[in-house]
Structure 1
Amino acid sequence: MLQQAPTSAAQTTIDSAPLNSFHKRLTLFSSGGPFLDGYILAIIGIALVQIIPNWQMNDWWNGLIGASALVGVFIGGLVFGNLTDRIGRKLMYTIDLVAIIVFSVLQFFVQEPWQLFVLRLLIGVAVGADYPIATALVAEFVPKNWRARLLGGLNAMWFVGATAAAFVGYWLLSIEDGWRWMLLSSAIPAVLILVARASIPESPHWLVSRGRQAEALQILRKTIGEGATLAGITAHDPKAAKLSSRKAFGLVLGGGYLRRVVFISIFWTCTIVTLFAIYAFGPQILALFNLQSGDEANIGYGLINLFFLVGNIVALLVVDKLGRRPVLIWGFVLSGAGLVFLAIYPQAPLGLIALAFAFYAIFNGGPSILEWIYPNELFPTKVRATAVGLCTGISRIGAAIGTFATPLSLTHLGLSGTMWIAAAIALVGAGASYFMAPETKGQDLEQAAAL
């Protein structure tokens, strides 16, 4: 049952409403998907430390298993983003978590690399489905003065999940076949999130787009106050809003929205290619930087996760003051500088290596939080989840290629060559952002999405 928000005689809209307990609960529960994504990707990096020698896996299987969840995210975002626009946010908000729980448990019983590859692919599909669902709900419920911070906060939870996985994995490494328990462990937070999400209602924006104004108004009065109105929510022809998959993708990929898809896909891909490779193969990469495999490498891996989280928090504090564009552009430039140092001095003293990693991780926070802010601000309600799912999927294909190629690159190009490639990717992200990034600071959701 919904928690009754404080009543108010004054008229209130979604964009002008004060932040209340419902907004906080919605954001916390919606952050479960990013938390699980970070956890699932990071835990495999540590699990592979045991899996590779146990199964005597080569670089090909190493890369395939590391990248499998990312390929799944592509499929999930592409298919279920559009489905979310058609059948609503709330139903899909729970189905995807059930799938994550089931597939996480089944990982415990795998006996061969191909079985683990398939299960992690299916987990990725469920995670990819959650991205457009959860972010659309938050974007469509929260006041505009808090939208950037709360949407960006969802991405910060990705790093909380990854950090938690690093320490859980480090603890379980001391257990024989601990990798099985690592992969199973993602089911525990998924169950808790599933239970918590039962109290979240359907999006008023989506309901209005389907001609269900009375239902939308009732939900708003329960969540932001008795004085709530539907002002600021654009009413559409319900029949026109029920776009087929073909028409929805046609709208997203046509006209002015195509430029936005290209921009978001490029900057999002450039943000996560290096990031995901580090998470999938962190202990192995750190060992090449003279952090010996074992306790030292795994502790260093956990600390890098904390630096990523700090960077997200700092970016959240400044994004509404500085604006989206400068946070994005300078984030790429400065994080890329850290990668350049690692490329030039791969044999530098341990303290300098740690500082360069910290520099990269902290300034990566700007582009990271905007992965969630820009896609939800730049597309209208009727295709918001479709667009977010599409951009998520495109970015994950790039990340999957990068993750698959990382062990091969380390073997054939070496550590320095791999870091140079990572720095070049950051430069591409900076250039695309400079020429294409719009400024949506201070705009209402409908205004930001308008062409």
Structure 2
Amino acid sequence: MSSVETGRITTRIPARLDRLPWSRWHWLVVVGLGTVWILDGLEVTIVGSMSDALRPHDTGLGMSSWDVGFAGAAYVAGSCVGALVFGQLTDRFGRKRLFLLTLGVYTVATVLTAFSMAPWWYFAARFLTGTGIGGEYAAVNSAIDELIPKAHRGRVDVAINGSYWVGAAIGSLLTIPLLNPSVVSASWGWRVAFGLGAVLALGILLVRRNVPESPRWLFIHGREHDAERIVDDIERRVGEEAGERLPEPGEDEEITIRQRRSIGFATIARTVFTLYPRRTVLCFALFVGQAFLYNAFFFTYGDTLSSFFGVKQTGWYLAVFAASNFAGALLLSPLFDRVGRVRMITGTYVVSGVLLAVTGLILGGLSAVTLTLMGAIVFFIASAGASSAYLTASEVFPMETRALCIAFFYSIGTAAGGISGPLFFGWLIDQASEAKDVTGIAVGYFVGAALMVAGGVTEAFLGIRAEGRSLESIAQPLTAEDRDDPGDASGSDAPQPAHA
């Protein structure tokens, strides 16, 4: 991959974007990009709720509990592959091209899922759907953080990632009529549920077309004139809304960049593992903890309710659970800017892990209602922590590597926790069902709790105080004039002023 230097510029574009007041334009970014998590939540919830509908051979696909878990694992595996492939392309070809492409992949794959004729088709369609969603995580998270002002970045990122649960609530409620054979035929209900995801995606695509390319990406890749034009337009729109002239950034907020067409993959790898080893460990711990917890618990939650508590319509229970998750991310998100990243991430991970362990200890005495209540309490806190894993990965690495770093940690963490989790829980449910003892799945809760607590402890020691700071001050761009050659690993985490 070419990394030929094309020029050098001194710019205040990052400072100009960071000093903007919140405006309707920023809401456009939130709606156009952030709503992808609604799709992810919709997908995962529908799969979790459809376990009974997919079992019959005549109206479903003849799937077992293990098959349901395998479908979840296939989706997560696709997400990992999609994140890595599209993440690298996002850093190379730009945020906008990729967040349009990945949404298109998701839409096509969701339609294919709706037309599944056999388990193998369903598994393949779930894998392809996952590739689109995984690519979205890399392209969208990087674009959001590069467009949102530094004073609002923490709360916006956490809340947007938490909007996953809006989709989960929608999916849960949709399954109530769609799984009622008196309303919709049993052979069509689950297919319609998947098809509605594609309809929602098309609506998001119409809004997303109006979101511009990241000016930060443009000026580093030799397109400073396009970057200036976009920022001028944003400032004009925000200034007109504010009704006052925006203050000019100071000269001390300038940054000089050695422009390059692209940054080689080897340089990116050295950056992650050699230049920022502590941040690498931190992100890995955060992603593994939240991925195992959520993918293990939520992918199989509907199956747990139906297998052990005789619940026929799991939608109401899942909707309550989802509402609690979204409320937690939304209500706690401002504290990530006010109280700070390190305290909030540590607290949400450790407290939710301890509460999940307590739930496992009392599992034998719970009903469907009380289990849902305990889950709502645990994940009210955990949802904000899980969202902060994506915030951390998108903040603490250089701009040129941002999308691929998000993709890398999402893929590694999700592969470790998200693929093994659903398979492990699916196996536990099958074993516990034979013994007719719900406590047989408690060990899964304990593993998830331990991983969350470990992530919180890692944050306490290695966390980065990124609140209220520009992305360039947290991690200097590889192409910055006063940095050594991007391939030089002479820097480290230690002298970085962003470290707690």
Same fold by TM-score greater than 0.5: yes
Which of the residues 136, 139, 147 maps onto 1:141?
147
Q: Which runs of 5+ in 2 are unaligned?
A: 1-13, 240-245, 433-439, 477-495
CA deviations on 1:97-151 (whole Å, 9 max, x unpaired) are 1111111111122111111111111111111111121111111111111111111
Q: Please tell me whether residue 191 in structure 1 is matched to residue 202 in structure 2.
A: yes
Where does residue 238 of structure 1 map in the other structure? 259
| One-letter amino acid of the counterpart of residue 214, structure 2 | S
Partners of 2:462 and 2:66 in 1: CA distance: 36
Where does residue 320 of structure 2 map in the other structure? 303
Displacement, 1:230?
Answer: 10
Change over 3 Å in CA distance of 1:429–1:53 after alignment to 2: farther
Where does residue 70 of structure 2 map in the other structure? 64
Where does residue 41 of structure 2 map in the other structure? 38
CA deviations on 1:339-389 (whole Å, 9 max, x unpaired) are 122211113254643432222111103312212321111011111111111
Change over 3 Å in CA distance of 1:235–1:53 after alignment to 2: farther
Q: Is the 8 A contact 1:410 1:418 kept in 2?
A: no
| One-letter amino acid of the counterpart of residue 278, structure 2 | R
Displacement, 1:217?
Answer: 1.1
Q: Is the 8 A contact 1:209 1:238 kept in 2?
A: yes
Secondary structure of 1:238's partner? strand
Change over 3 Å in CA distance of 1:119–1:354 after alignment to 2: closer
Partners of 1:73 and 1:101 in 2: CA distance: 14
Partners of 1:260 and 1:310 in 2: CA distance: 29
Displacement, 1:236?
Answer: 2.6
Which of the residues 371, 386, 401 maps onto 2:404?
386
Q: Please tell me whether residue 247 in structure 1 is matched to residue 267 in structure 2.
A: yes
Which of the residues 85, 104, 107 maps onto 2:110?
104
Q: Which runs of 5+ in 1 are unaligned?
A: 1-10
Name the one with the larger helix percent: 1
Q: Is the 8 A contact 1:211 1:235 kept in 2?
A: no
Counterparts of 1:292-441 in structure 2, within 5 Å, are: 292-295=310-313, 297-350=314-367, 352-397=370-415, 398-412=417-431, 414-441=440-467
Partners of 1:288 and 1:443 in 2: CA distance: 49
| One-letter amino acid of the counterpart of residue 410, structure 1 | I
Displacement, 1:195?
Answer: 1.2
Partners of 2:410 and 2:297 in 1: CA distance: 19
Change over 3 Å in CA distance of 1:411–1:424 after alignment to 2: farther
- Calculate the TM-score normalised by the size of structure 2: 0.83
Displacement, 1:163?
Answer: 1.2
Q: Is the 8 A contact 2:155 2:335 kept in 1?
A: no
* Root-mean-square deviation over aligned CA pairs: 2.1
| One-letter amino acid of the counterpart of residue 47, structure 1 | M
Partners of 1:17 and 1:419 in 2: CA distance: 44
Partners of 1:371 and 1:361 in 2: CA distance: 15
Partners of 1:161 and 1:230 in 2: CA distance: 42
| One-letter amino acid of the counterpart of residue 401, structure 1 | S
Number of residue pairs the alignment of both structures matches: 437
Displacement, 1:51?
Answer: 0.4
Q: Is the 8 A contact 1:329 1:433 kept in 2?
A: yes
Instruction: Give aligned-pair identity as a percent.
Output: 24
